[in-house]
């Protein structure tokens, strides 16, 4: 009689911000690496944790004009066009369609993070963090591909409902202060760990990968974590 193979658990803590284009690219590459790993190692159980990070926590809750804000940070339209083109080219290789021309609001991402954390709390033991990732993906796509305001609670509710969440439950959560402290704690934890930019991945609480690295690097990092390497 063949005994079932015991599952090996791999924890992934991902610090990211919904308003960070490289976070969408990095998270997409990481998910693809996890899918490849699962294909090779079906005994591996992956537990995701979304860790909030805000690149610009000082923005007002209603956000600010995107074009004006970006010019203030990076300068001329020519420089912005070069930057946006570089990001779009990088994302295209992973099947992501960036449309910066559609973005009108630079959002405060507190409520977006709260929604992802709330979705994470809806997971069951069979798929830890999967609903959070699906929700984050929907927010990334809405913002960077569709130009929607992911700081607007009506938009957040609509996107959550499309992910199978109950509209009244989402509205009630957003109207409360639920997960506000968690968002602040995520920022403080990042500072304590010396995280200054995102995406930032911690594997099994001991190995770290910074940035939207090539897929091959994520493949190696996942295997190193499973093999007990460094």
The Cα–Cα gap between 92 and 178 comes to 36
Cα–Cα distance between 227 and 220 in angstroms, integer? 10
Query: How far is 93 from 146, CA to CA, in rounded Å?
Result: 19
Q: State the Cα–Cα distance between residues 119 and 130, nearest whole angstrom.
A: 9
The class of domain 8-227 in CATH terms is: alpha beta
Query: Is pLDDT above 50 for 5?
Result: no
| pLDDT single digits (tens) 26-49 | 999 999 999 999 999 999 999 999
Summarised one tens digit per residue, pLDDT across range 108-163 is 999 999 999 999 998 776 567 888 999 999 999 999 999 999 999 999 999 999 99
- What's the whole-number average pLDDT of the chain? 93
- What's the pLDDT at 129? 83
Q: What percent of the chain has pLDDT over 90?
A: 87
């Amino acid at each position: 009689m063949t005994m079932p193979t015991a599952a090996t658990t791999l924890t992934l803590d991902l610090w990211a911000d919904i308003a960070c284009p490289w976070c969408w690219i990095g998270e997409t590459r990481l998910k693809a690496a996890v899918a490849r790993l699962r294909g090779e190692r079906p005994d591996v159980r992956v537990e995701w944790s979304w860790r909030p990070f805000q690149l610009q926590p000082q923005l007002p809750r209603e956000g600010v004009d995107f074009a004006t804000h970006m010019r203030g940070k990076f300068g001329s339209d020519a420089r912005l066009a070069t930057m946006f083109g570089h990001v779009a080219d990088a994302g295209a290789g992973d099947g992501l369609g960036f449309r910066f021309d559609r973005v009108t609001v630079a959002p405060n991402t507190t409520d977006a993070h709260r929604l992802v954390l709330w979705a994470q709390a809806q997971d069951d033991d069979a798929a830890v963090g999967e609903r959070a990732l699906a929700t984050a993906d929907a927010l990334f796509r809405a913002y960077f591909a569709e130009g929607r305001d992911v700081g607007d609670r009506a938009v957040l509710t609509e996107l959550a409902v499309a992910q199978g969440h109950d509209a009244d439950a989402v509205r009630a959560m957003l109207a409360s202060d639920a997960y506000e402290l968690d968002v602040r704690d995520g920022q403080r934890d990042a500072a304590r760990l010396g995280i200054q930019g995102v995406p930032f991945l911690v594997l099994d609480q001991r190995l770290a990968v910074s940035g939207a690295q090539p897929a091959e690097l994520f493949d190696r990092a996942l295997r190193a974590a499973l093999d007990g390497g460094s």
